[in-house]
Chains A and B, each alone.
Chain A
Amino acid sequence: MDEGRNGMIDAIYNWIDNRLALSKSGRHLLNKIFPDHWSFMIGEIALYSFIVLLISGIFLTLYFVPSEAIVTYHGAYKPLDGMRVSEAYASTINLTFAVRGGLFMRQLHHWAANIFVGSIVVHMLRVFFTGAFRRPREANWMIGATLLILAIFNGFLGYSIPDDLVSGTGIRIAFSILESIPFVGTNLAFFLFGGNYPGTDIIPRFFILHVLILPLIILGLLAGHLGMLVKHKHAQFKGRGARNDNVVGSPLWPNYAAKAGGFFFLTTGVTAILAALVQINPIWQYGPYVPYKVSYAVQPDWYMGWLDGALRVMPAWEIHLPGHMVPNVFFPGILLPGVTFTLIYLWPFIEAKFITHDYSEHHLLDQPRDNPLRTSIGAAVFAFYFVLFGASATDVLANYLQVSLNVVLWVFRISCIVIPIIVFPVAYKICLELQKTPDAGKRKRHVIIVRDPEGAYHSVESAEYVGYVAPELNPVDIEEVDLQPEIDALNTPKETPQDGIYQVPR
């Protein structure tokens, strides 16, 4: 029985293998070494939540109707009964209340989107502070930055298409930001919206961008991102025999197949528990979008917070030119993200040219303290965006703290300049201190006080890693499969006199 089944599996495997030569590349794959460090899991969270987004998103497209046609709602949600709403809004309410598991899938999709963008940002911080973007990974850093932009855009599009009151106001702001762009803005806004705001094209257009065009681009870039990762192999922290020309860790089979596979289910499970217990975007409470209505104390999804905060703290300035103007929202809405992402794209080159003067290949990661200037610049810039993020809640904070809105706004206007200036030297100093501290970041040893027979007290350091002493093992090399002879054999010119074509050896 057993043998018969194995024989069957072998036969199937052989059939495929003889057509794809899996045994050659498969061996590489099974032996692929993954370095062990918790911080390498953050990018995995992004990948897995993207898979959750694809699965839950496919479910949602089966019920969502991307149309701005007005219908009278008669459905499961009674408070809206008889209201005239768009088909997009009505179908979202319908899939929420009338489709079994619909609300769960919608909340799963929304939570997964928030986690997707969040894990990209944290992953990017990890890559930045450990210097993983250095040669040869500059291009992969730029692909990652592009993925972040696309993730933010697609999150905004998905948030917009249910056509509820809150997201509709967001679309209005997006139109204002678009038309503020010098030279092309007015036309660009009209082309994207199919005319003046609000028009009737924007939901179907956002929909096709959200479910087809941007996901395809994200998938393609993701393939490039991971392909380059395989090509370069993982960067790794120092220690355990790690060198620039090796990778030390555990193999894909069986360790990482189980760990990464299990981590996929952990990520999915936690997202599902959030979707089950924590309400997100209850559009039936917001009501349908009506252009002359607006809601109060509304914040966008978290990843738009820094832009919303920037719109709030920006002073009321505009540039007036003969016949033209540069509107206020251009500065926080276009210039700020433009400068931000340009700097992100260029950072690997800026750092190599002006800070480290180091153009060599790096596969060993820095600790953040190893490069104090990079770390403190990163910390200060991050602090700036974090203050902007906080500024998107000025109205809520003023209400909660019972302080005048004026005070709260000015606190944020000043903080977004002062706090980064404070953070920079503090981070720099901490890096220098950590550099001078031996074994910084390692677990502290206990100090044991003993009393000797004479009555004197002595302090004695305990052994390292109290309780369990891990053996310090050296990595064992897994041999590289040498495919070069086979490649050479394939490349050797063969004479084929039968058909009269000769490949002449150079």
Chain B
Amino acid sequence: MSETTEEHPDLESVPLDAPQFEVAARNVKRTEYITFASFILALIAFAAFGAAYTQNASTGIFGLTIGLGLFFFGFGLVSWGKYLMPQGPFSEPRPLMETTEKEKELLKADFTSRGKVAIKRRSFLVKAMAAAGGIFGIVAAFPLIRSLGPLPKNSLMTTKWRKGSYLTTIYGDKVKPSDMEVGGILTVFPEDDLGSAISQTILLRVKESGNIVTMAGREDWAPDGFIAFSKVCTHAGCPVGLYEHLEQLLVCPCHQSMFNVKDGAMPVFGPAPRPLPQLPIYIDSDGYFRARAGYDEPIGPGFWTRGGTA
């Protein structure tokens, strides 16, 4: 079909011996060789891909053969198109987007004159249709949006920690003081919410013995050098998984907020705006850690309906 193109009637005005129809290559022979070599290389690479596939070769061989095949195939086409085809330039007219006043008026006349016939003395039809359509738009939103999930209600405000909840590991084992060395950290859960994204709590052994008092009113919240905080970062909700024992800092690896353990996990660096909530714990008569109560504030990052208390 290619020869018919050059006899294309629209190009009749351009003589085929015009300089625009010369090819762009400086050295036509060399360009032909390069293009030919590209296609041959592509052929070899595609064949190699076939072989690599049947032999279940490694990802590198697999991808390299087909990648090089595609690359050389494309290289051949581009060098053909760029250097062995009419160098141009050619031009075509471009009608501007602006329409004339007459065209605008004709459309307007068509629209309004025929439209007037349609709605003449029938404006109540327009209103009824609009009302029905509007109601449809509103009711259609219910199944589309409301059915997607439950309302938040109170679920963001509380965790599964209750008065008397045991601090247990992910395996459900109750934790006792002799389980951890000074400087150690352990992720704990209430026994009925193992692995929870919400209730996850980090238990730290900060010192050998003695209560840790982070602020007034929390005198008996952290017995025997142990202290527990919500593990959910108050910035964007990542697990606060790093503990620098020398500085007694909890660090969130996502955006590097740092919380000072001694101060009740007050944020000292980075974007976190609020301290990690502290879980009040005690050691029961059997020697196991238990919660004195649940968290006294919502854990994790802020949300619109959280309320203003810091």
Which chain A residues have a beta carbon within 8 Å of chain B's beta carbons? 9, 27, 30-33, 36, 100-101, 103-104, 107-108, 136, 169, 172-173, 175-177, 179-187, 189-199, 201, 231-233, 240-242, 244-251, 253-259, 261-277, 290-298, 308, 311-318, 320-329, 332-333, 361, 363, 394-395, 405-406, 409, 468, 471, 473-481
| Cα of A249 to Cα of B69 in the assembled complex, Å | 30
Contact, CB under 8 Å: B77 / A259: yes
Q: Given A266-B74, A266-B75, A277-B64, do A249 and B11 touch, yes or no (CB 8 Å)?
A: no
The 6 A-B residue pairs whose C-beta atoms are closest, nearest first, are: A276-B63, A262-B77, A258-B81, A327-B302, A265-B74, A269-B71
Q: Are B309 and A316 in contact (CB under 8 A)?
A: no
Contact of B200 with A291 in the complex, beta carbons under 8 Å: yes
Q: Bits for B170-190, please: 1 = Cβ < 8 Å to A, else 0.
A: 100000000000000001000
Residues of B contacting A136 with CB < 8 Å? Answer: 97
A485 and B283 alpha carbons, distance in the complex (Å):
96
Interface-facing stretch out of B83-91, B123-131, B287-295: B83-91
Q: Smallest Cβ distance from B246 to chain A, in angstroms?
A: 14
Chain B: which residue is nearest A246 at the CB level? B91
With known contacts A255-B81, A292-B170, A320-B309, A312–B256 Cβ distance under 8 A: yes
Interface residues on chain B, number (Cβ under 8 Å): 98
Query: A324–B67 contact, CB under 8 A?
Result: no
Name the CB-closest residue of B to A173: B236
CB-nearest residue of chain B to A48: B74
Q: Mark B235-263, 1 if CB is under 8 A from A, else 0.
A: 11111011000000000011111000000
Contact in complex: B63, A292 (CB < 8 Å): no
The answer on a CB contact under 8 Å between A276 and B62 is yes
**Contacting A475 at CB < 8 Å: which of B66, B74, B88, B200?**
B88
Which residue from chain A places its CB closest to the CB of B189 in the assembled complex?
A: A292
With contacts A180-B301, A293-B241, A298-B253 taken as known, whether A269 is within 8 angstroms of B73 at the C-beta atoms is yes
B137 within 8 A of A: no
Enumerate chain A residues within 8 angstroms of B74, measured Cβ to Cβ.
Answer: 262-269
Instruction: Note all chain A residues with C-beta closer than 8 A to B19.
Output: 471, 473
Whether B239 pairs with A101 at a CB distance below 8 angstroms is no
Q: B114-152 toward A: CB 8 Å interface, digit per residue (1/0)?
A: 000000000000000000000000000000011011111
The answer to whether the Cβ of B111 comes within 8 Å of any Cβ in the partner chain is: no
Residue B94 is within 8 A (CB to CB) of chain A in the complex? yes
Query: Digit string of B266-298 for contact with A (CB within 8 Å is 1, else 0)?
Result: 010111111000000000000000000000000
In the assembled complex, which residues on chain B have CB atoms less than 8 Å from the CB atom of A101?
A: 53, 59, 62
In the complex, which residue of chain A has the Cβ closest to the Cβ of B199?
A292
13 CB contacts below 8 A, A to B, read A185-B303, A187-B151, A244-B96, A246-B91, A262-B76, A275-B63, A293-B239, A294-B253, A320-B309, A323-B305, A324-B304, A328-B273, A476-B13
- Answer yes or no: B92 CB below 8 A from chain A CBs: yes
- Identity of the chain A residue whose Cβ is nearest the Cβ of B187 in the assembled complex: A292
Chain A residue contacts of B235, Cβ below 8 A: 176, 311, 316, 328-329
How far apart are A141's CB and chain B's nearest CB, in angstroms? 15
User: Min CB distance, B21 to chain A, in Å?
Assistant: 9
Cα distance, A261 to B242, chains bound together (Å): 52
* Chain A hits for B197, CB < 8 A: 172, 197-198, 291-292
Q: Which residues of A contact B11 (CB under 8 A)?
A: 478
* B272 contacts across to A, CB distance below 8 A: 316, 328
Q: Are A254 and B2 in contact (CB under 8 A)?
A: yes
> B90 touching A251 by the CB < 8 A rule?
yes
Query: In the complex, are the beta carbons of A269 and B70 less than 8 A apart?
Result: yes
CB-CB < 8 A to B13: which residues of A? Answer: 476-477, 479
Q: Given A180-B303, A262-B80, A277-B64: A255 and B8 within 8 A (CB)?
A: no
Known: A169-B254, A327-B301. A33 touches B92 (CB 8 A): yes
A316–B236 Cα distance when bound, in Å, is 12
Instruction: State the Cβ distance, B297 to closest chain A Cβ, in Å.
Output: 12
Q: Write out the residue numbers on chain A whose beta carbons fall within 8 Å of the beta carbon of B254.
A: 169, 173, 294, 298
- Smallest CB–CB gap between A136 and chain B, Å? 4
A226-B72 Cα distance, complex, nearest whole Å:
28
Residue B31, interface by CB 8 Å? no
Q: Is the CB of A480 within 8 A of B92?
A: yes
- Closest A residue to B147 by CB, please name it: A191
Q: Which residues of B contact A187 (CB under 8 A)?
A: 151-152
Determine the distance from Cα of A294 to Cα of B253 in the docked complex, in whole angstroms: 8
Residues from chain A with a CB closer than 8 A to the CB of B86 are 250, 254-255
> Once bound together, how far apart are the Cα atoms of A104 and B241, in whole Å?
33
B92 & A176 in contact (Cβ 8 Å cutoff): no
Please, which residue of chain A has its CB at the minimum distance from the CB of B196? Answer: A291
Q: B308 and A325: CB pair below 8 A?
A: yes
Most buried by A among B1, B8, B273, B304: B304
Alpha-carbon distance A295/B236, docked complex (angstroms) = 15
The answer, yes or no, to whether B215 is at the interface (CB within 8 Å) is no
Q: Which residues on B sit within 8 Å (CB–CB) of A258?
A: 77-78, 80-82, 85
Give Cα distance in the complex from A478 to B18, angstroms: 13
* Residues of chain A with a CB closer than 8 A to B59's CB: 101, 103-104, 107, 276
A318 to B90, Cβ gap below 8 A? no
Report chain A residues within 8 Å CB of B255: 308, 311-312
CA–CA, A213 to B53, complex, Å?
Answer: 33
Within the complex, the shortest CB–CB distance from A245 to chain B, in Å, comes to 5
Q: Report whether B308 and A273 are in contact in the complex, using a CB–CB cutoff of 8 Å.
A: no
Give which listed residue, B76, B97, B149, B271, contacts A315 with CB less than 8 A: B271
Chain A residue, CB-CB nearest to B96: A361
B195 sits at the interface (CB 8 A)? yes
Q: Closest approach, in angstroms, between the C-beta of A251 and any C-beta of chain B?
A: 6
Contact of B304 among A27, A183, A232, A271 (CB under 8 A): A183
Tell me the bound Cα distance from A317 to B274 in angstroms.
9
Q: Is the CB of B89 within 8 A of A240?
A: yes
**B10 located at the interface, meaning its Cβ lies under 8 Å from any Cβ of chain A in the complex:** yes
Alpha-carbon gap, A296 to B239, bound state (A): 11
Besides A173-B238, A259-B82, A292-B200, 18 more A-B contacts (Cβ < 8 Å) are A104-B59, A107-B63, A172-B237, A182-B304, A186-B303, A192-B148, A240-B89, A245-B95, A248-B91, A263-B74, A276-B59, A290-B195, A298-B253, A405-B256, A471-B19, A473-B89, A477-B13, A479-B10
Query: Which residue from chain B places its CB closest to the CB of A309 in the assembled complex?
Result: B255
